[in-house]
Amino acid sequence: MRLLIAVREEATIQNPCEQIGAAILLGVATYAMKMNIVLLIVLAGLNFIAIDARAASLVDGDAKSGEAKSAPCSACHGAEGNSMSPIWPNLAGQAAPYIVAQLKAFKSDPNNPDAKALRSDPLMTPQAMMLSDQDINDLAVYYESLPVGAQAVADPDLISRGEALWRAGNSEEGVAACAACHGPTGRGNPAASYPLLAGQHSAYIAKQLNDYAAGKRRSDGKTRIMRDISERLNQEDITALASYVQGLK
Ligand code: HEC
Ligand code: HEC
């Protein structure tokens, strides 16, 4: 009881408390800096290298213009490229060449999107139609530059089935291991336009696998990579894989 009162009284005298806290923090920081000055310099160097690597995109676009153009997109894909609805995909950190390919796929047949477009969606198709090639490049580079958002957790009951398929595929059904292209942790391969999947909403992933299987999504083009794989998966496989992908970090 006394302790509680003491804490409460201290909390009301805010300024002196903050000052003491700041002084202690400064002391600790100064000490740490003296001890680790060399390490800090090394770390700072590494940081610059990391920033440089992220700044280079395979697509020739301008992230700043992309940010300005992204205002209408954020209504569905979120302010930082992480959407609130599980059927609207996250775009943060997605590889720019893949984003370009998808926006062009949505634009592929303006006159008859439902019948012929490589990819079609009542919400997304009209959005893509309004974009020029320059807009597409700028938006792609902008979304690629954003940090991948907080990850959701995979359903523990589905992990083992999802993980087995992800890592080894299913040789009986002729399903290739997803990890072979999308990487063990689902980071994808920007140069090959294999998308980042880690942390993507499971409901969105399941919808895409079903769309490929039904031939509704044909953005994999002549290779038919994802259509061939998806039509060999059953609904249990799709549910388990979608949940597993959502939990990948
Ligand atoms: C009204 C909601 C809405 C708005 C606004 C919107 N999108 Fe989308 N977007 C979607 C939906 C829904 C999908 C998934 C469609 C599907 O299921 O295939 C999607 C898919 C995408 C994809 C494919 C992602 C992937 O992983 O394959 C990209 C890229 C994209 N949108 C970019 C944009 C950009 C850039 C803008 C702004 C110019 C934008 N979107 C505006 C709803 C929207
Ligand atoms: C041989 C390489 C390869 C393999 C193996 C592969 N993928 Fe893909 N995946 C791709 C490519 C390429 C795309 C982009 C296709 C397109 O543009 O529509 C893609 C796209 C996807 C997408 C759509 C992502 C989005 O943001 O809309 C999903 C979901 C997906 N793959 C899941 C899987 C799963 C699950 C497996 C394993 C069962 C798998 N992939 C195996 C190459 C591969």
User: Atom 2 (ligand 1): residue with closest C-alpha?
Assistant: 76
Domain boundaries, the chain: 2-55, 58-150, 152-249
pLDDT tens, position by position, 148-181? 987 778 889 999 999 999 999 999 999 999 999 9
Higher pLDDT: 121 or 4? It is 121
Residue 175 pairs in a beta bridge with: 170
Q: How far is the CA of 186 from the centre of ligand 1 (A)?
A: 20
Residue-level pLDDT at 109: 75
pLDDT tens, position by position, 63-104? 999 999 999 999 999 999 999 999 999 999 999 999 999 999
Atom number of ligand 2 nearest to Cα 102: 17
Closest CA to 58 of 91, 7, 97: 97
Ligand 2 within 6 A of 219 CB? Answer: yes
* Homologous superfamily (CATH) for 58-150: Cytochrome c-like domain (1.10.760.10)
- Please tell me if the domain spanning 58-150 has the same topology as the one spanning 152-249: yes
Residue-level pLDDT at 56: 79
3-state secondary structure the chain: CHHHHHHHHHHHCHHHHHHHHHHHHHHHHHHHHHHHHHHHHHHHHHHHHHHHHHHCCCCCCCHHHHHHHCHHHHHHHCCCCCCCCCCCCCCCCCCHHHHHHHHHHHCCCCCCHHHHCCCCCCCHHHHHHCCCHHHHHHHHHHHHHCCCCCCCCCCCCCHHHHHHHHHHCECCCCECCHHHHHCCCCCCEHHHCECCCCCCCHHHHHHHHHHHHCCCCCCCHHHCHHHHHHCCCCHHHHHHHHHHHHHCC
Residue-level pLDDT at 149: 83
Ligand 1 within 6 A of 102 CB? Answer: yes
Q: How confident is the model at residue 114 (pLDDT cuts 50, 70, 90)?
A: low
Residue-level pLDDT at 81: 97
Residue-level pLDDT at 116: 76
Burial readout 10-40 (b: 16 or more C-beta within 10 A, e: otherwise): eeeeeeeeeeeeeeeeeeeeeeeeeeeeeee
Higher pLDDT: 66 or 3? It is 66
Q: Structure pTM? A: 0.83
Quickly name the fold that domain 152-249 has.
Cytochrome Bc1 Complex; Chain D, domain 2 (1.10.760)
pLDDT tens, position by position, 10-53? 333 333 334 433 443 444 344 444 444 333 333 333 333 333 34
Atom number of ligand 1 nearest to Cα 85: 12
Q: How confident is the model at residue 145 (pLDDT cuts 50, 70, 90)?
A: very high
